[in-house]
């Protein structure tokens, strides 16, 4: 069977780097196994879901290099969920309940004071036909619970019922169905909670591997029971650890913190995001991977830690620098053109400045400095000014070869007796207006003799 995975966010906000971790785990898994990637939008909550968020999630995924083979929206698939509901009802596995949330809370309290686990006691199963219709006549609408298979013949006599799976990330996992309440699958207003649509989709879309955050481990016990109740073989499951900020806070779509959009806008490269999102909290070192194929080579779900992975957003800049410092011109060219960096000098310019960039867009200010000179008038002592004037007088005539900087500074050293920093710092300041930057040997041919002489302080 073709490996088929899915990434299933609710389109209720922009995705963040933690969501990107889930998406990339799935994408890389599919990449490694020659599989398919289904993009599924869990948008059964019609109030909070928005098409514009779904569109922006797709945009963010493309930016990261993820191109789904199939895109699905749960809001267009209600007839499949309705059919599953009928099937469960017919099998006696879905039963109507009329309790309000206050009544349920009260019951939980009573159970706790009696030292019983605060799970639902299946009281609604005991309702007679008359009691049900009395509730209906009062105007109450039922919510529907799935009868978990955690008993042998009497549903009020639950017994330990272990559901096992060999988790792709966590190894052997067990959930005891007797420790859980029968989950509500359908609300009073007829809307679906996440649990059932997810299973129905996983069945109908032929999902072979469900890879998601470890906040879903308990759900998996319930969902495996649901797969079986619907007559399907459950897929394989993998639950990866979640990302938290260095202070231990979780990430939320709603706050927009560390959203992929904000990282993109702040000039972070997609592969910086992908490298950190995938490698943090694993036994691999976090280093800058150049593309997703290279990253796939380092990706091993089983090498992921079981505890939450703290990450430092500053690490993104470290990865960004590493990527830019080695980025070939061909890869940067189109983006440089959009930034106004073009012409025959664009390539040597890129090679000269890339080692000094935090963000690709920082190249623009270097381009400007090299073409137009220092941004502000350069401050230097009279002595240095005189030195620079003397040095400029010694600048070789063009055409220049690759030794021009060496030849020039040798001549300047001989004439002035200056060397080291005393020699090159005033030259650097006069030419760029800055105390640090790319090698002057590389900058010189980019500025040209005329350009240098125009910078005489
Ligand atoms: N919509 C669910 C979530 O974002 C999907 C979980 C799953 O992958 O099954 O948590």
Is the shortest distance between the CB of 8 and ligand 1 below 6 Å? yes
**Residues 103-120: what's their mean pLDDT?**
91
Does pLDDT of 255 surpass 70? no
pLDDT > 70: what percent of the chain?
A: 99
Is the shortest distance between the CB of 22 and ligand 1 below 6 Å? no
- Rounded to the nearest angstrom, the distance between the alpha carbon of 405 and the centre of ligand 1 is 59
What does the pLDDT read at residue 291?
Answer: 97
pTM here is: 0.92
Tell me the backbone φ, ψ of residue 402, rounded to 5 degrees.
Answer: -65, -5
Distance of alpha carbon 329 from alpha carbon 348, whole angstroms: 9
Residue 171: band (very low, low, confident or very high) from pLDDT cuts 50, 70, 90: very high
For the record, the structure tokens of 195 come out as: 């649990």
pLDDT tens digit sequence for 316-370: 999 999 999 999 999 999 999 999 999 999 999 999 999 999 999 999 999 999 9
* Angle 209-215-219 from CA coordinates, rounded to 5°: 65
pLDDT tens digit sequence for 270-284: 999 999 999 999 999
pLDDT tens digit sequence for 285-327: 999 999 999 999 999 999 999 999 998 889 999 999 999 999 9
What does the pLDDT read at residue 454?
Answer: 95
Does pLDDT of 391 surpass 70? yes
Instruction: For a ligand 1 pocket test, name from 39, 48, 201, 216 the mutation site with the most ligand atoms within 8 angstroms of its C-beta.
Output: 216
Position in ligand 1 atom list of the atom nearest CA 8: 5
Distance of alpha carbon 421 from alpha carbon 137, whole angstroms: 91
| Residue 251 CB burial class (10 angstroms; 0-12, 13-18, ≥19) | buried
Domains of the chain with CATH codes: 4-72+195-241 (3.40.50.620), 82-179 (3.90.800.10), 327-372 (no CATH), 382-453 (1.10.10.350)
Residue 247: band (very low, low, confident or very high) from pLDDT cuts 50, 70, 90: confident
> What is the total residue count of the chain?
457
């Amino acid at each position: 069977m073709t490996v088929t995975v899915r990434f299933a966010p609710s389109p209720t906000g922009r995705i963040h780097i933690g969501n990107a971790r889930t998406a990339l785990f799935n994408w890389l898994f599919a990449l490694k196994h020659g599989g398919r990637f289904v993009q599924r939008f869990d948008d059964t909550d019609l109030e909070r879901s928005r098409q514009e968020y779904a569109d922006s999630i797709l945009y963010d995924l493309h930016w990261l290099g993820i191109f789904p083979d199939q895109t699905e929206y749960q809001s267009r698939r209600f007839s499949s969920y309705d059919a599953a509901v009928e099937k469960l009802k017919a099998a006696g596995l879905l039963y109507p309940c009329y309790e309000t949330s206050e009544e349920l809370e009260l019951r939980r309290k009573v159970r706790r004071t009696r030292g019983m686990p605060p799970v639902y006691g299946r009281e609604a199963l005991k309702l007679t036909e008359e009691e049900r219709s009395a509730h209906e006549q009062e105007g109450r609408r039922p919510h529907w619970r799935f009868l978990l298979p955690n008993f042998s013949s009497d549903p009020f006599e639950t017994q330990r019922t272990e559901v096992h799976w060999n988790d792709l990330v966590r190894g052997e996992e067990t959930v005891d169905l007797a420790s859980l309440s029968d989950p509500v699958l359908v609300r009073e207003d007829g809307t679906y909670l996440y649990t059932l649509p997810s299973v129905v989709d996983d069945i109908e879309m032929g999902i072979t591997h469900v890879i998601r955050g470890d906040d879903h481990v308990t759900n998996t016990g319930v969902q495996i029971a649901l797969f079986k109740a619907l007559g399907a073989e459950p897929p394989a499951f993998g639950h990866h650890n979640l990302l938290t900020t260095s202070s231990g806070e979780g990430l939320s779509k709603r706050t927009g913190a560390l959203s992929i959009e904000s990282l993109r806008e702040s000039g972070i490269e997609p592969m910086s995001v992908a490298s950190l999102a995938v490698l943090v909290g694993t036994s691999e070192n976090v280093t800058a991977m150049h593309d997703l194929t290279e990253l796939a080579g380092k990706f091993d779900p089983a090498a992921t830690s079981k505890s939450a992975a703290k990450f430092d957003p500053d690490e993104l800049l470290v990865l960004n620098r590493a990527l830019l410092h080695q980025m070939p011109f061909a890869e940067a060219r189109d983006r440089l053109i959009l930034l106004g960096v073009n012409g025959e000098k664009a390539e040597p310019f890129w090679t000269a400045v890339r080692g000094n960039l935090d963000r690709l867009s920082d190249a623009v200010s270097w381009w400007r400095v090299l073409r137009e000179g220092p941004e502000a008038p350069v401050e230097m002592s009279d002595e240095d000014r005189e030195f620079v004037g003397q040095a400029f007088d010694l600048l070789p005539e063009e055409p220049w070869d690759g030794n021009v900087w060496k030849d020039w500074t040798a001549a300047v050293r001989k004439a002035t007796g200056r060397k080291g920093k005393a020699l090159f710092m005033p030259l650097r300041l006069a030419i760029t207006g800055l105390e640090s930057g790319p090698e002057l040997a590389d900058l010189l041919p980019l500025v040209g003799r005329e350009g240098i002489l125009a910078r005489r302080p």
